[in-house]
Structure 1
Amino acid sequence: MTSPTELRVSKDRRTLTVTFPGHAPFTFPAELLRVLSPSAEVQGHSPEQRVTVPGKKDVAIMKIEPVGHYAVRITFDDMHDTGIFTWDYFHTLGHEQDTRWQSYLDELAAKGLSRER
């Protein structure tokens, strides 16, 4: 996967825009990145272990650090920082954002959880 040409955090720290060469930018809400973090803490080590993370509607991005030439580590203001967001993951998430977000909302509803803290 080609590296993005730009990663830009919004002034309010609530969105991250990722631009790949020859592609329209993907804009990700911080909440989406937090609840779909590729970390073992969220994803588990198998699909059955995946965790539905509630209460992150107001989460913000504190910092982004490069990991080699293939990814970044995002630190959120709830101190979650174990997800390594690869370029492939951003690309896939960009194309599947609407579907994955709806699945997340459906999981919250099915489990009686809320986006609010």
Structure 2
Amino acid sequence: MAAPTPTEIRLNRTERRLEVAFDDGSHFSLPAEYLRVESPSAEVQGHGPGQKTLVHGKRMVGITGVEPVGQYAVRLIFDDRHDSGIYSWETLHRLGREYETRWPAYLAELEAKGLSRDLRGRAAPRSEPA
């Protein structure tokens, strides 16, 4: 059985979401942050099992472009300059189907590692007077 194919892909920049409807009747509204932290790129997923990087600080990330890749995928361009993930139709459908389990697991992993969805600037150390 062939993987579902999108019938519509729409970028909602204001809400920072990618709306994807598939020919199997499913429809997903995928947050840009979720798509960014789950990017299928080697930068995020690594080159083998167990090499996935926990991406943090992306709460406010947006998608600036959606480019077709042949007849099987799109490349998403994020405003943090990440643009190397190729999201196949199968990947988009899986991310949509698994959002309800993947997202809470991601949030729990962030918390366990003391990381935040927000960017945090580091203050420069203050010099103490001599």
Gaps of 5+ in 2: 120-130
Cα displacement (A) at 1:110: 1.1
Gaps of 5+ in 1: none
Classify the secondary structure of the residue corresponding to 2:54.
Answer: coil
Paired positions, count? 117
**2:36 aligned with 1:31:** no
Cα displacement (A) at 1:21: 1.4
**2:67 aligned with 1:62:** no
* Structure 2 partner of 1:7: 9
Q: Which has the higher helix share?
A: 1
Percent identity of paired positions between Structure 1 and Structure 2: 55
* Structure 2 partner of 1:83: 85
> After superposition, where does 1:47-58 map in structure 2 within 5 Å?
47-58=49-60
Is the contact between residue 6 and residue 18 of structure 1 (CA under 8 Å) also seen in structure 2?
yes
Structure of higher CA gyration radius:
2
Distance in 1 (CA, whole Å) between partners of 2:4 and 2:55 is 30
Q: TM-score w.r.t. structure 1 length? A: 0.95
* Structure 2 partner of 1:17: 19
Is the contact between residue 19 and residue 27 of structure 2 (CA under 8 Å) also seen in structure 1?
yes
* Structure 1 partner of 2:42: 40
Is the contact between residue 74 and residue 83 of structure 1 (CA under 8 Å) also seen in structure 2?
yes
Q: TM-score w.r.t. structure 2 length? A: 0.86
Distance in 1 (CA, whole Å) between partners of 2:74 and 2:109 is 27
Classify the secondary structure of the residue corresponding to 1:18.
Answer: strand
Spell out structure 1 runs of 4+ moving beyond 4 A. Answer: none
Is the contact between residue 44 and residue 50 of structure 1 (CA under 8 Å) also seen in structure 2?
yes
CA RMSD of aligned residues (A): 1.1
Bigger Cα displacement from structure 2, 19-28 vs 31-40 = 19-28
Cα displacement (A) at 1:13: 5.6
Per-residue CA shift, 1:17-42, capped at 9, x if unaligned?
A: 00001413111000000000000000
- 60 and 77 in structure 1: CA distance in 2 versus 1, 3 angstrom threshold: same
